[in-house]
Amino acid sequence: MKYRILTINPGSTSTKIGVFDGDELVFEETLRHSSEEIGQFKKIYDQYNFRKEVILNVLKENAIKLESLNACVGRGGLLKPIAGGTYEVNDPMIEDLKVGVLGQHASNLGGIIAKEIAKDLNIKAYIVDPVVVDEMIDLARVSGMPEYDRMSIFHALNQKAVARKAAKELGKKYDELNFVVAHLGGGISVGAHELGKVIDVNNALDGEGPFSPERSGTVPVRKIMKMAFSGEYTVEEFNKKVSGKGGLVAYLNTNDGRDVKKMVAAGNAQAGVIYQAMAYQVAKEIGSMCVALGGKVDGIILTGGIAYDSEFVGWIKERAEFLGKVFVYPGEEELRALAEGGLRVLKGEEEAKVYA
């Protein structure tokens, strides 16, 4: 039997959906959301109706019948830290995604929307390799302040999918090789993959690592403390400065790399500096993760939407190529990775894990 699976991937700047018949992608759509469109919502959960409706509309417009689905698989979410794998969406998970037990992230909506669509159809909903997959070594957890350990929050699903792809290109298995993977999306995470485990990674969501289209990345703490206590901002506003309205949005009022390129082409020198600085910070983070791997690096992988920009990729390569062979996989493999995770469970090759 060929199982039909709806995959849902809410990212910070887009909602991507795919329909798979078995492992064959039969429909795909990327719905882009501008920072104004997204910015009107206070919390991620407030976007639930908006994102669900755009998904249902696009399926209807393309004559994809909901009744033909066997499962819904969503990208999730800021749950409690868990091992990688496929999880059935259950009530405790929905609760944690709704309240944002670890915070607000677009992918929190993946599990919620998948469950909502699946519920009415009496089919199962799953999530695969959520952003909280945690395989960090103890050394990497130490933050410098005993009150808070560093956390593993990153584009786990895509990072692992593209690392598997590069391993295949090299004729080996993912868990036989070491990679540094830089996911260049609305958020940017750079992970050190050692023999199939992500032993260190910048927590892209909470202000670590390079700045990105929507994230501030690492910022000077003392100066920021002053700002936080100034009374000028609510907690929500301040959170948005770190994640949502940081990075390119803060500097240039857009979360779209292509807009930035247009600004530069129109003679905006400041836009050029900011965009190049983002590449510079990514290259530095790659260097840092190569060190985490002790210099034993089989490949450096650049992926995510911004990897479509060959100029941006070129700036990173100029600085980081000496560290290892660079693989460029623009966009992401997330929809396929979601479908494959769902399929493994539907076919009985793997048991769905239970989130408690």
The entry of ligand ATP, ligand CCCC(=O)O, none near residue 306 (CB within 5 to 8 angstroms by kind) is: ligand ATP
Asked if 210 is part of the footprint of ligand ATP (rule: CB under 6 A), the reply reads no
Judged by CB under 6 A, the chain residues 7 through 66 that form the site for ligand CCCC(=O)O are 12
Nearest to 33 by CA among 18, 47, 23, 43: 47
Stretch that binds ligand CCCC(=O)O, among 49-57, 152-160, 223-231, 319-327 (CB under 6 A): 152-160
The entry of ligand CCCC(=O)O, ligand ATP, none near residue 324 (CB within 5 to 8 angstroms by kind) is: none
Within 8 A by CB and 6+ apart from 308, the residues are: 330, 331
Q: Left (φ > 0), alpha (ψ -120 to 50) or beta: where does 180 sit?
A: beta
Judged by CB under 6 A, the chain residues 128 through 187 that form the site for ligand ATP are 155, 185-187
The entry of ligand ATP, ligand CCCC(=O)O, none near residue 189 (CB within 5 to 8 angstroms by kind) is: ligand CCCC(=O)O
Distance CA 311, CA 272 (A): 12
β-sheet bridge partners, residue 198: 193
Asked if 84 is part of the footprint of ligand ATP (rule: CB under 6 A), the reply reads no
The entry of ligand ATP, ligand CCCC(=O)O, none near residue 112 (CB within 5 to 8 angstroms by kind) is: none
Q: Which two tokens stand for residue 290?
A: 């190569």
For the chain, the maximum distance between any two Cα atoms, rounded to a whole number of angstroms, is 61
CB of 111 to ligand CCCC(=O)O, least distance (A): 14
The entry of ligand ATP, ligand CCCC(=O)O, none near residue 154 (CB within 5 to 8 angstroms by kind) is: ligand CCCC(=O)O
Residue owning tokens 């929905």: 94
CB of 136 to ligand ATP, least distance (A): 20
Asked if 12 is part of the footprint of ligand ATP (rule: CB under 6 A), the reply reads yes
Amino acid at 336: R
The entry of ligand ATP, ligand CCCC(=O)O, none near residue 342 (CB within 5 to 8 angstroms by kind) is: none
Q: Which two tokens stand for residue 273?
A: 């500096």
CB 58 within 8 A of CB 44: no
- Give CA separation, 75 vs 31, 107, 239, in Å: 15, 6, 22
Judged by CB under 6 A, the chain residues 287 through 326 that form the site for ligand ATP are 304-306, 308-309
Residue nearest to ligand CCCC(=O)O (CB): 187
129, 200, 285, 332: residue in contact with ligand ATP (rule CB under 6 A): 332
The entry of ligand CCCC(=O)O, ligand ATP, none near residue 202 (CB within 5 to 8 angstroms by kind) is: none
Beta strands 299-304 and 326-330 are parallel
CB of 229 to ligand CCCC(=O)O, least distance (A): 25
Q: Left (φ > 0), alpha (ψ -120 to 50) or beta: where does 235 sit?
A: alpha
> Alpha helices of the chain — where are they, by DSSP H?
35-39, 48-61, 91-99, 108-121, 138-141, 156-169, 221-228, 235-242, 247-252, 257-265, 269-292, 310-320, 334-346
CB of 176 to ligand CCCC(=O)O, least distance (A): 26
Distance CA 140, CA 148 (A): 12
CB 307 within 8 A of CB 313: yes
The entry of ligand CCCC(=O)O, ligand ATP, none near residue 205 (CB within 5 to 8 angstroms by kind) is: ligand CCCC(=O)O
Asked if 255 is part of the footprint of ligand ATP (rule: CB under 6 A), the reply reads yes
Which chain residues interact with ligand CCCC(=O)O by CB under 6 A?
12, 105, 131, 153-155, 187, 189, 204-205, 215
